[in-house]
Amino acid sequence: AVQNPDDAKNNDNKSDRTEDIECKSSANKTPLPSVSPTKTKVNNSNEHSAIGEKHDKTTGKVTEAAKEKAPVRSVINVPVNRTSEIQESRLKLPILGEEQHVMETISEHPVVILCGATGSGKTTQVPQFLYEAGYAHDVGMIGITEPRRVAAISMSKRVGTELNLSTREVSYQIRYEGNTTPDTKLKFMTDGVLLKEVQKDFLLSKYSVIIIDEAHERSIYTDILIGLLSRIVPLRHKKGSPLKLVIMSATLRVEDFTENSRLFKIKPPVIEIESRQFPVTMHFNKHTPQENAYLNEAYRKVCKIHRSLPEGGILVFVTGQQEVNTLCRKIRETFKSKLSDTKNKAVKEDDKESSQMKTKIPRVQLDDYSVLPEDDELSEQDGAHGNNQSDEELSEPDDDDTFDDVSREPGDSQNPIYVLPLYSMLPTHKQAKVFEAPPAGHRLVVVATNVAETSLTIPNIKYVVDTGKVKTKFYDKVTGVSSFKITWTSKASANQRAGRAGRTGPGHCYRLYSSAVFNDEFELFSSPEITRRPVDDLLLLMKDLNIDKVVNFPFPSPPDRLALKAAEKLLLSLGALEPPAKPQKPTRKSQRAEMDNPSARISPLGRAMACFPVAPRYGKMLSLGHQHNLLPYVIALVAALSVQELFVEIGEPPIDETEKQAWKNRVGKMVMLKKTWAGQGQSALLGDLMVLLKAVGACEYAGCSTDFCFQHGIRHKAMIEIRKLRSQLTNAVNSVLPAANVIMDPKMAPPSELQAKLLRQIILTGLSDHIARKLQEPSTGTNEEKKKLKMAYQSIHLEEPVYIHPNSVLYKQNHEYVVFQDITETSKLYMRGVSVIEAEWLPVFVPHGCTFSKPLDSPPPRYDSSSGNVLAHMTSTFGVRCWEIPAVELE
């Protein structure tokens, strides 16, 4: 069992706050708004440990030490008109009984850490407590950061509803959209949004409180924000307009915040919210399924639960979008005959899409075109189960006996099933479906990625099926090659997953792995994101904030030194940083410090790049794009490159022969379409980036209709994001470069031949370390070696050969030099987002990568009257591999 249910507390007699406005000076009195007597009674802070607290818990009085820190501010009891229904459901939340304790602690301490299990009411209630206590009354806004967009939006809606306030007052802001107004009091936003605000206003003077939610997720922006806020809070205190910081976590693992003396000089108090969790019975598999069999295992488990266990929602955790869709389809197929009523038609929406695809696609013969490596397919054997509704599965001999622990109600197997997917790329309105009640008489099955682990609470889940797996993007710290690996998740996140079953009553968690594997192979906690990904954008951001010695920054967990070094190298090569200047007359001390820890400073170009909310490489392209009317194209390209996956993933080939044919046709259609979009001549050399440009242009031409997107394999959600990012970038470019005066024309005309060529050069300046050169195919050697080097490229940093991704429009074409967006590792190292470049451009656009020499027989230097420069013939070699570049005339 996980935890005991907490139904001992009877909250029935609690009433809401008094509704009269009351102003008090809090400096010398208990800094609390007036509360109704029943509320005060619930103040049982003695039972709750608040580590490092500086106040007397019994009396609630502020001690001398705390008073020093306590800001002098008037506390106002802001009235709220909640509906009785809302009020009733609030009272069931464990955090409600802690309101006074929480608010006292926040009032007395500048930084407070709040831990409470998912569902205890942190996200929805703490902002309301603060609002009612007047924190947003006249002193500023209450800002709440979420690592996920979906949480920022849905939580702002929920809190708005609970407070009975409009979206004018309880608003959200995510990267490209928001509904904030001058009246906004509570602002939910993604952590990235707040980080951008720090860049503009370091003191965050618009806010009176910042709540960092889901801090246990340790998202990279959350970590940086906490580091920055550890400096901002004391600064605001000094200025006499204190800022409160509340860090909220679903786990108790907060040592990185409390035990890090560089972060907070005074250890912040930790409030632990008792969880109201019902017991969840754990069922481990006796044996852990084979590497690729977990999806199949999950499928079988869902079928078994549905056929033999009492009603209650099932939540299945798998690793990615494709798995979610595969499993959803599989479950729907199995229980197809049960889908009858009208509401269920909605359930089949996704299936409709795939069948439409089948009928509309022209038949293109494709012999051998595999798009993605095959993995995680449901086995043939399971596919054969199809619509089989017999109870065959139950009588099958089985490895585990988990079902023996649970009472069976065979009658329930007659109920139909309502299957919903949940992953972050899913369109928002489809994500929101999980919060709605399933059609009457249906069992809800949600197949989710770890999006459902903590930030969202899906109602009425009784069974959790946990594959124990997680898909994580890994980066090589030096080369930047990324790969997705499916690994065991951590014990902490497996326990979070299990906890989802005990929200509304006792539940069961089926772990599709053995307890031995859990004990021996699962890490205790997942490692923070900052230690797992490149940090060039962070480094630039910090340099822009004039934090020169980034190694000294109070990171909750510092990024790897190698990653920092790689980031610095990249930024130097992009010209965003200037090498550290040697001190003229150094004192011995400063000299030593500089030598131990030299720090490059941001350049004017770097400042410009930092204004753009995109990766530094793309920022560089934008900074250079003001020539030949290229900016609209550069903006569209950068937007498309920054948004994840414009094209729908086609997925793996299905097992079923007829379906396979449809799949092949679909792939064929995509190939044809991309070739058409790439065009001829200079456009075609722009390769995949031309395809992106054309896709964006064509889609805008068609009014961004869902129909057009669907017909052309474009993700509508991505397209909408690109549109928003384009307009955001256009504004940013115009503010950095007012002379550019770019006007966004969504339906931009395709670039001219000259423009297409110049675009390739601009792309080169941003991707100057992502260059690869075709390898000679060996004339000798074994067949295997020959095959390996066929169509292979050599990139600057990697020993191993790299290849153009089969999804690329330049796949199987012959070009000597290419630049690529990134390299991912699947069965091979694949370059994606590929464009062709010319060798002669390297000495001009990437001179720092070249070694120059003057050929013996070169003509004498000459004066060029148009530019006023002296030009000389130079030969050069490029990069560490000394690729020879033909002689060119250079300044």
> Which residues contribute to the site for Mg ion (CB under 5 A)?
123
**Which of 154, 603 has the CB closer to Mg ion?**
154
Size of interface with ligand CDP, in residues (CB under 6 A): 15
Q: Which residues contact 149 (CB under 8 A, 6 or more apart)?
A: 174, 175, 190, 424
Which phi and psi (to 5°) does residue 286 adopt?
-70, -40
d(CA 388, CA 411): 17
Q: 488 to each of 67, 318, 495, how far by Cα in Å?
A: 47, 11, 13
DSSP string, 471-516: EEEEE-TTT--EEEEEEE--HHHHHHHHHGGGSSS-EEEEESS-HH
**Which of 122, 797 has the CB closer to ligand CDP?**
122
**For ligand CDP, what does the binding mask look like between residues 150 and 189, x meaning CB under 6 A?**
----x---x-------------------------------
d(CA 685, CA 678): 8
Q: Indicate the length of the chain as a whole number.
A: 891
Rounded to the nearest whole angstrom, what is the least distance from the CB of residue 505 to ligand CDP in the complex?
13
Rounded to the nearest whole angstrom, what is the least distance from the CB of residue 726 to ligand CDP in the complex?
31
**Which of 185, 301 has the CB closer to ligand CDP?**
185
**Which of 120, 755 has the CB closer to ligand CDP?**
120
Rounded to the nearest whole angstrom, what is the least distance from the CB of residue 122 to Mg ion in the complex?
5
Tell me which amino acid residue 33 is: P
Mark the segment that binds ligand CDP (CB under 6 A) among 112-120, 293-301, 308-316, 378-386.
112-120
Query: Which listed option, ligand CDP, Mg ion, none, makes contact with residue 119 (CB within 5 to 8 Å by class)?
Result: ligand CDP
Query: Which listed option, ligand CDP, Mg ion, none, makes contact with residue 154 (CB within 5 to 8 Å by class)?
Result: ligand CDP
- 145 scored as a contact of ligand CDP (CB under 6 A): no
**Which of 250, 635 has the CB closer to ligand CDP?**
250
With beta carbons less than 8 A apart as the criterion, state whether 226 and 215 touch.
Answer: yes
Which phi and psi (to 5°) does residue 868 adopt?
75, 15
Rounded to the nearest whole angstrom, what is the least distance from the CB of residue 130 to ligand CDP in the complex?
14
User: Across-strand partners of 510?
Assistant: 283, 465
Distance of CA 138 to the CA centre of its chain: 33
DSSP structural state of residue 9: -
Burial (Cβ within 10 Å: 0-12, 13-18, ≥19) of residue 63? middle
**Which of 154, 682 has the CB closer to ligand CDP?**
154
Query: The tokens of 113 are what?
Result: 């850490």
Which one among 31, 33, 110, 121 touches ligand CDP, defined by CB under 6 A? 121
Query: Which listed option, Mg ion, ligand CDP, none, makes contact with residue 93 (CB within 5 to 8 Å by class)?
Result: ligand CDP
Rounded to the nearest whole angstrom, what is the least distance from the CB of residue 211 to ligand CDP in the complex?
10
Rounded to the nearest whole angstrom, what is the least distance from the CB of residue 271 to ligand CDP in the complex?
13
- 9 scored as a contact of ligand CDP (CB under 6 A): no
Q: Which residues contact 646 (CB under 8 A, 6 or more apart)?
A: 640, 692, 695, 696, 714, 715, 718, 719, 722
d(CA 808, CA 13): 65
Virtual torsion, Cα 712, 717, 718, 723, nearest 10 deg:
100
**Which of 101, 122 has the CB closer to ligand CDP?**
122
Query: Which listed option, Mg ion, ligand CDP, none, makes contact with residue 386 (CB within 5 to 8 Å by class)?
Result: none
Which one among 26, 107, 123, 334 touches ligand CDP, defined by CB under 6 A? 123
Rounded to the nearest whole angstrom, what is the least distance from the CB of residue 632 to Mg ion in the complex?
41
Rounded to the nearest whole angstrom, what is the least distance from the CB of residue 434 to ligand CDP in the complex?
10
Q: DSSP 3-state assignment of 721?
A: helix
Q: How large is the greatest C-alpha to C-alpha distance in the chain, in angstroms?
A: 97
**Which of 432, 775 has the CB closer to ligand CDP?**
432
**Which of 123, 449 has the CB closer to ligand CDP?**
123
- 120 scored as a contact of ligand CDP (CB under 6 A): yes
Query: The tokens of 303 are what?
Result: 């079928």
- 118 scored as a contact of ligand CDP (CB under 6 A): yes
Beta strands in 616-682 (DSSP E): none
User: Across-strand partners of 190?
Assistant: 146
Rounded to the nearest whole angstrom, what is the least distance from the CB of residue 459 to ligand CDP in the complex?
6
Query: The tokens of 891 are what?
Result: 């300044």
Mark the segment that binds ligand CDP (CB under 6 A) among 123-131, 338-346, 444-452, 775-783.
123-131
**Which of 219, 402 has the CB closer to Mg ion?**
219
**Which of 123, 450 has the CB closer to Mg ion?**
123
Mark the segment that binds ligand CDP (CB under 6 A) among 122-130, 353-361, 540-548, 756-764.
122-130
User: Across-strand partners of 500?
Assistant: none
**Which of 249, 821 has the CB closer to Mg ion?**
249
User: Across-strand partners of 189?
Assistant: 145, 173
- 244 scored as a contact of ligand CDP (CB under 6 A): no
For strands 141-146 and 207-212, give the pairing.
Answer: parallel
Query: Which listed option, ligand CDP, Mg ion, none, makes contact with residue 120 (CB within 5 to 8 Å by class)?
Result: ligand CDP
SS (H, E, C) 207-233: EEEEEECCHHHCCHHHHHHHHHHHHHH
Rounded to the nearest whole angstrom, what is the least distance from the CB of residue 213 to Mg ion in the complex?
6
Query: The tokens of 863 are what?
Result: 């004066």
- 499 scored as a contact of ligand CDP (CB under 6 A): no
Q: 285 to each of 293, 310, 401, 402, 487, how far by Cα in Å?
A: 13, 21, 8, 7, 18
Which one among 457, 623, 765, 808 touches ligand CDP, defined by CB under 6 A? 457
Rounded to the nearest whole angstrom, what is the least distance from the CB of residue 170 to Mg ion in the complex?
16
Give the orientation angle of helix 616-624 with respect to helix 631-642, to 10 degrees: 170
**Which of 108, 146 has the CB closer to Mg ion?**
146
Residue whose structure tokens are 């602002």: 187
Rounded to the nearest whole angstrom, what is the least distance from the CB of residue 306 to Mg ion in the complex?
29
Query: The tokens of 679 are what?
Result: 């065009």
Query: Which listed option, ligand CDP, Mg ion, none, makes contact with residue 116 (CB within 5 to 8 Å by class)?
Result: ligand CDP
d(CA 653, CA 661): 9
**Which of 503, 815 has the CB closer to ligand CDP?**
503
**Which of 456, 646 has the CB closer to ligand CDP?**
456
Query: Which listed option, Mg ion, ligand CDP, none, makes contact with residue 121 (CB within 5 to 8 Å by class)?
Result: ligand CDP
With beta carbons less than 8 A apart as the criterion, state whether 10 and 510 touch.
Answer: no
**For ligand CDP, what does the binding mask look like between residues 475 and 494, x meaning CB under 6 A?**
--------------------
Radius of gyration of the chain (CA): 30
Tell me which amino acid residue 525 is: F
Rounded to the nearest whole angstrom, what is the least distance from the CB of residue 202 to ligand CDP in the complex?
29
**Which of 122, 329 has the CB closer to Mg ion?**
122
**For ligand CDP, what does the binding mask look like between residues 77 and 106, x meaning CB under 6 A?**
----------------x-------------
Rounded to the nearest whole angstrom, what is the least distance from the CB of residue 594 to ligand CDP in the complex?
46
Residue whose structure tokens are 């931009």: 748
d(CA 78, CA 136): 9
Q: Which residues contact 814 (CB under 8 A, 6 or more apart)?
A: 774
- 122 scored as a contact of ligand CDP (CB under 6 A): yes
Which one among 33, 71, 110, 119 touches ligand CDP, defined by CB under 6 A? 119
Which one among 26, 124, 794, 808 touches ligand CDP, defined by CB under 6 A? 124
**Which of 180, 454 has the CB closer to ligand CDP?**
454
Interface with ligand CDP (CB under 6 A): 93, 116, 118-125, 154, 158, 435, 457, 459
